[in-house]
A and B are shown apart, each in its own frame.
Chain A
Amino acid sequence: MKRGAAHRIVLTALAWAAALAVAFPLLWTFITSFKPELEAVAFPPRLTGVDWTLENYRTVLDEGGYARSALNSVVIAGASTLAAMALAIPAAWAMAFAPTPRTRGLLLWMLSTKMLPPVGVLMPIYLIYRDAGLLDTRAGVILLLALGNLPVLVWMLYTHFREVPGEVLEAARLDGASVVQELTQVLLPLALPGLASAFLLIFTLGWNEAFWTLNLTSTEAAPLTAFMATFSSPQGLFFGRLSAASILSILPIVAIGWFCQRQLVRGLTFGAVK
């Protein structure tokens, strides 16, 4: 019994250590964002006797661009996820319920495009976007992210759809459901938890996308990831402001994630309890 208690304490400590290690950078950023610039770069860093301030936040918000970038982030992440969903749902439906001998290969082939480093196609895409007038436009970024995340989304939805028994869809077909009704009234409600988690993941990927947004946007379509980067240049590093900008950038996604998670849990237990 005594050994059991010691065992539990060790495990708890390990769990806390792991959680702290994961959360440490975020925590540090949070703390730094409330320090004056001089304190922010001080070494060794101090936690006591600091002159805590909201100055960094004021500067970041005053400098302008936050509101527009935040809106761009919401629009880009939201629209690219919805567009990807619109393409991926029918694709995953076909692959899950009308598979052919080549379905598996097709899925792997789609996924393999994600193994290419994006920088490998930066040049052609930049040139195409320049000539098509898509540079620094929301539509351009949305298009790229929607297509870029499509393979992962199709794969995820395919996995979720496969857990829905095909006979339920066939029953709907016999009951007179059209293809659209079969999808919207039977398949999607049944796959809702999977759909929600896929949506959340792809939305987060779109929100966090930095490579393409940094390279293809400048001001008009710049989302928060690009906004954040402006604080690391050109006047040199301002760690306090950079930290404040980072915290401001992740706040919305944390809020959305928290909200979706609650919905997700509710959705999962709703059917079982009721």
Chain B
Amino acid sequence: MSQIELHGITKRFGDHRAVDRIDLAIARGGMTVFVGPSGCGKTTLLRLIAGLEDPDEGRLLIDDEDMTGTAPAQRGLAMVFQSYALYPHMTVRANIGFALKLAGMARPEIDARVERVAAMLHLTPYLDRRPAALSGGQRQRVAIGRAVVREPRAFLFDEPLSNLDAALRGRMRVELRRLQQELGTTAIYVTHDQAEAMTMADRIVVFRDGRIEQAGRPLELYHRPANRFVAGFIGSPAMNFLAGPRAATFGAAEIAIRPEDLTVAAEGWSGTVTVVEHLGAESYVHLVLEDGAPLVLRSRPGEEPANGAKLRVAPVAAKVHRFGSDGLALG
């Protein structure tokens, strides 16, 4: 059922392996999100899939066909760049229709398809404008329209929403997801924002330093992180990490507990409240334990302790994530 397969894909820049022996299968029709900190190789991997870079090692299959050295245009993939990369000298209409024109499609059919895509993306009033005369959100939609109109085998999105303001980003996220499901086209979506990854993905692939740390469904990663890095990366606010004797009582080198899995208890670790964040539907209480270790716990509104209060907290035992000294999850 996989449409795109990577086998041992490696890309070096000098001595640095930006992408390091990646094996991955991308499911047909789904939204796969590549997430990871800045510089971990997400963009490079996407460009390798698109054919804009050639891998130093490894093979790439698309629809069971070896496409490792194939020219970008022959792969049938459409990419949306972070910078949008619109053609500034062309109107919106020409931008969206450019690929069809190059493919030698007849003018009336190009027009019909461009109009249909423009209507879908609410771009109809802007068809005769140039990109310079559009807002950021409109440019973004033109870039998406340019990808959609080609009816590609898969979409490649490289942080397409990162240049938009927060409100618009939230809206576009949902719109993009809806569009992708409607079309049923395979999509790879790159972001460094774990919240975006969680909301959009059918499947998340977490990268670090050119390697895959874990791949799985969003809640799988949330509830069963394979290692310390994924545990810290997925979820906001981040997990609480504790080492030393507190971890030892759980038989681990280090333990991690989500803020919602900590409760105020009669028996537990004692600490002092330093900051209380009121978010409305919930609050986050920041504590410092006796030995200086920081801790965040989620609290229902109206039940937060006061600033400076001393209290004891204990984890829900079943929700404690345990890690060995190598950083991998235990049992």
**A-side interface residues toward B, CB under 8 Å?**
165, 167-168, 170-177, 181, 186, 189-190, 271-272, 274
Q: Is the CB of A170 within 8 A of B85?
A: yes
A177 to B104, CA, bound (A): 11
Q: Are A167 and B146 in contact (CB under 8 A)?
A: no
Q: How large is the interface on B (under 10, 10 to 19, 20 to 34, 35 or more residues)?
A: 20 to 34
- In the bound complex, what is the Cα–Cα distance between A181 and B51 (angstroms)? 18
In the complex, B37 has a CB within 8 A of chain A: no
Interface of A, secondary structure class, is helix
Is A167 touching B83 in the complex (CB atoms < 8 A)?
Answer: yes
Contact among B78, B85, B89 with A271 in the assembled complex (CB-CB below 8 Å): B89
**Complex Cα gap A2–B110 (Å):** 66
A272–B73 CB distance below 8 A: no
Q: Are the C-beta atoms of B81 and A176 separated by less than 8 Å?
A: no
Chain B residues with Cβ under 8 A from A167's Cβ?
81, 83, 85
Residues on B with beta carbons closer than 8 Å to the beta carbon of A168: 85-88
Which residues of chain A come closer than 8 Å to B85, judged between CB atoms?
165, 167-168, 170-171
Docked pose: A165 CA to B83 CA in angstroms: 9
How far is it, in angstroms, between the C-alpha of A190 and the C-alpha of B86 when the chains are bound? 12
Q: Enumerate 21 A-B pairs (CB-CB under 8 Å) in ascending A order.
A: A168-B85, A168-B86, A168-B87, A171-B79, A171-B85, A171-B86, A172-B98, A174-B50, A174-B72, A174-B79, A175-B99, A175-B102, A176-B99, A177-B73, A177-B102, A181-B102, A186-B87, A189-B89, A271-B88, A271-B132, A274-B130
Residues of chain B touching chain A, judged by Cβ–Cβ distance below 8 Å, are 50-52, 71-73, 77-79, 81, 83, 85-89, 98-99, 102-103, 130, 132, 146, 150
Additional A-B contacts beyond A165-B83, A175-B99 (6; CB < 8 A): A174-B50, A174-B73, A175-B150, A176-B73, A186-B87, A189-B89
The answer for the CA separation of A170 and B73 in the assembled complex, in Å, is 10
Closest A residue by C-beta to B131: A271
Residues from chain A with a CB closer than 8 A to the CB of B99 are 175-176
| Cβ of A146 to closest chain B Cβ, rounded Å | 28
Q: Give min CB distance, B148 to chain A, whole Å.
A: 13
Cβ–Cβ < 8 Å partners of A170 in chain B? 52, 72, 79, 81, 85
Collect the chain A residues with CB atoms within 8 Å of residue B87's CB.
168, 171-172, 186, 190
